[in-house]
Amino acid sequence: DEYVFILPVSFKTEILTEDEKPERIVEFLREGAIGDKLFTEIPGETELIKSSIKENLLTLDFNSGITSYGGGTAREDGILKQILYSMKQVDGVERVRILIEGGTKDLPEGSDISKPLLIPREINDVVDFID
């Protein structure tokens, strides 16, 4: 219970084009808990209004439900990581631009989403320093 890590979870789904994948991924993330140990950071009110892919940039336009988590920097960080890690599944995408209701603004705890975010190469990239 001391640490929270993001774990890849596989689902069977119909065959999707790269353009269809973001919407289906967000649906899976929004659906919530799987069992008693796995949960999602994505608020249930979150809806993907639209998405588009241009070159290596995926733009995701969410409704305001993406901000309905009540605050907390850890939660906000978890939301962004879940989105970025999950979108690694979309072939050719290296960066994600997150819009809210068609515009760019900071998330409630101040995370800057005004510019595209780079999809991390590693999931849960943690470095432990030993004294």
Helices vs. strands in the chain: H and E counts, helices first: 2, 4
Q: Give mean pLDDT, residues 90-109.
A: 93
> Is 109 among the domain residues?
yes
- Please tell me the predicted confidence (pLDDT) of residue 4: 67
> Is 91 among the domain residues?
yes
| Residue 7 near residue 34 (C-beta atoms within 8 A) | no
Q: Can you give the pTM of this predicted structure?
A: 0.85
> Is 105 among the domain residues?
yes
Please give the single-letter amino acid code of residue 10. S
Res 72 pLDDT > 90: no
SS3 89: helix
| Residue 70 near residue 30 (C-beta atoms within 8 A) | no
- Please tell me the predicted confidence (pLDDT) of residue 47: 95
> Is 77 among the domain residues?
yes
- Please tell me the predicted confidence (pLDDT) of residue 2: 60
> Is 28 among the domain residues?
yes
> Is 79 among the domain residues?
yes
- Please tell me the predicted confidence (pLDDT) of residue 1: 47
Domains contained in the chain, number: 1
> Is 11 among the domain residues?
no
Domain that holds residue 91: 21-118
Q: Give mean pLDDT, residues 52-67.
A: 96
Res 5 pLDDT > 70: no
- Please tell me the predicted confidence (pLDDT) of residue 49: 97
Q: Give mean pLDDT, residues 50-64.
A: 97
Higher pLDDT, 126 or 12: 12
> Is 32 among the domain residues?
yes
